[in-house]
Amino acid sequence: MNEEFIEALREIVKEKGISEDLLFTTIEDALVAAYKKNYTTGSTQNVKVTMNRANGEIHVYSQKNVVVNVENDVEEISLEEAREVNPRYQLEDIVDIEVTPKKFGRVAAQAAKQVVIQRIKEAERSIIYNEFITKEYDIITGTVIRKDKGNVFVDLGKIEAVLGPNEQMSGEAYNFNDKLKLYIVEVKNTTKGAQVVVSRTHPGLVKRLFELEVPEIFDGVVEIKSIAREAGSRTKISVHSNDENVDAMGSCVGPKGSRVQSIVNELKNEKIDIIKWSKLPEQYISNSLSPAKVLDVTLDEESKSAKVIVDDNQLSLAIGKEGQNVRLAAKLTGWKIDIKSKSQSESLNNRNE
């Protein structure tokens, strides 16, 4: 060991954010193991290694207990012999006797190198994990680097994430070098380092896009109450203004529809219905079925279901293609919704009379 090595260690400490004390202590522990492996017949000997943190000088000490009668000269030393080293030693003290081998430097350097490499890897993993854990449930921009077996691999800068098949938007192409906005669903700390789970289908992606695009949402004036999404096709989002002077829906739409259009573009033309939230369930359910016009809503609180009546010409619009509109409205509001046209309702009433 030498001063250049110590200086190099300090540079690593500074660059990688490793604790200097932890690094030196770990190296000393590794040197103990290296000494026992190369210079003793067993591991029973108590050994201590110290490294001078200024010049890298290493000393190895055999540690022995001070006893009256020595039964094991590897681990014990008599009081008389201990006092030859230092007159202050008492029974049950531990005496350090230097046993540094002449050619220990090469063994020590190899052991230290292995520890430093391992510590660098651990530190880098920890730094990456700590960086990405703060971004959990947030948006990040990544670059598509390759596709394999249905998975899309995305470069996030310091780490590579996998966009699994279930997290990909239907109909969306993922081409090499494409820039994508992704929602970080989860950050895991594994034995192989940080693992970042990303998504293009999660409702949280829409929520964060609105928070970034609409200042009133970011400031808390307008609140997102609920989101129901069928990724790549359609999303319903309900909003509420905490200021009577601010129009929640207007804020989200933006001047000439610029704000919502920006989000639609990012989601590759996914349709977005912005719904006005209401604390009155009847009104909220009616709003949620937009763009259809609702005539009447009857609630069953016990089963949390709602019967909705619409004009005959609004029935297909209220239900939506393959039932999508009513399905999203039910997800958005948390109510089961049964839709009938006005003529169907009247016919049913007549039969019941």
Q: Nearest-CA neighbor of 218 among 208, 232, 233?
A: 208
CB–CB of 243/221 below 8 Å? yes
The pLDDT tens digits along the chain (353 residues) read: 577 788 888 888 888 778 888 888 888 888 888 888 888 766 567 889 998 888 888 899 999 999 999 998 888 999 999 999 999 999 999 999 998 988 888 888 888 888 888 878 888 888 889 999 999 999 999 999 999 999 999 999 989 999 999 999 988 999 999 999 999 999 999 888 899 999 999 999 999 999 999 999 999 999 999 999 999 999 999 999 999 999 999 999 999 999 999 999 999 999 999 999 999 999 999 999 999 999 999 999 999 999 999 999 999 999 999 999 999 999 999 999 999 999 998 887 777 65
Domain 3-128, CATH: 3.30.1480.10
* Nearest residue to 143 via CA among 167, 179, 184, 183: 179
Q: How many residues does the chain have?
A: 353
pLDDT at 5: 80
Tokens, residue 220: 């808390």
**Euclidean distance between CA atoms 157 and 141, whole angstroms:** 9
Token couple for 194:
């940080």
CATH of domain 135-199: 2.40.50.140
Question: Cis omega (within 30 of 0) on the bond before 101?
Answer: no
Beta bridge partners of 62: 47, 97
pTM above 0.75, yes or no: no
Tell me the torsion sign for CA atoms 248, 251, 257, 258: negative
Dihedrals φ, ψ of 341, to 5°? -80, 165
- Count Cβ atoms below 10 Å from residue 32 Cβ, excluding itself: 18
Q: SS3 for the chain, per residue?
A: CCHHHHHHHHHHHHHHCCCHHHHHHHHHHHHHHHHHHHHCCCCCCCEEEEECCCCCCEEEEEEEEEECCCCCCCCEEEHHHHHHHCCCCCCCCEEEEECCCCCHHHHHHHHHHHHHHHHHHHHHHHHHHHHHHCCCCCEEEEEEEEEECCEEEEECCCCEEEECHHHCCCCCCCCCCCEEEEEEEEEEEECCEEEEEEECCCHHHHHHHHHHHCHHHHCCCEEEEEEEEECCCEEEEEEEECCCCCCHHHHHHCHHHHHHHHHHHHCCCCEEEEEECCCCHHHHHHHHCCCCCEEEEEEECCCCEEEEEECHHHHHHHHCHHHHHHHHHHHHHCCEEEEEEHHHHHHHHHHHC
pLDDT of 307-352, one tens digit each?
999 999 999 999 999 999 999 999 999 999 999 999 998 887 777 6
CATH 3.30.1480.10 residue ranges in the chain? 3-128
**Contact between residue 255 and residue 285 where contact means Cβ atoms under 8 Å apart:** no
Cβ neighbour number for residue 90 with a 10 Å cutoff: 9
CATH 2.40.50.140 residue ranges of the chain are 135-199
pLDDT (tens digit per residue) in 329-340: 999 999 999 999
Q: Where does 219-277 sit in CATH, by number?
A: 3.30.300.20
**CA–CA distance, 215 with 293 (Å, rounded to integer):** 30
User: Which part of the chain is CATH 3.30.300.20?
Assistant: 219-277, 278-353
The whole-number pLDDT of residue 237 equals: 98
CATH class of 278-353: alpha beta
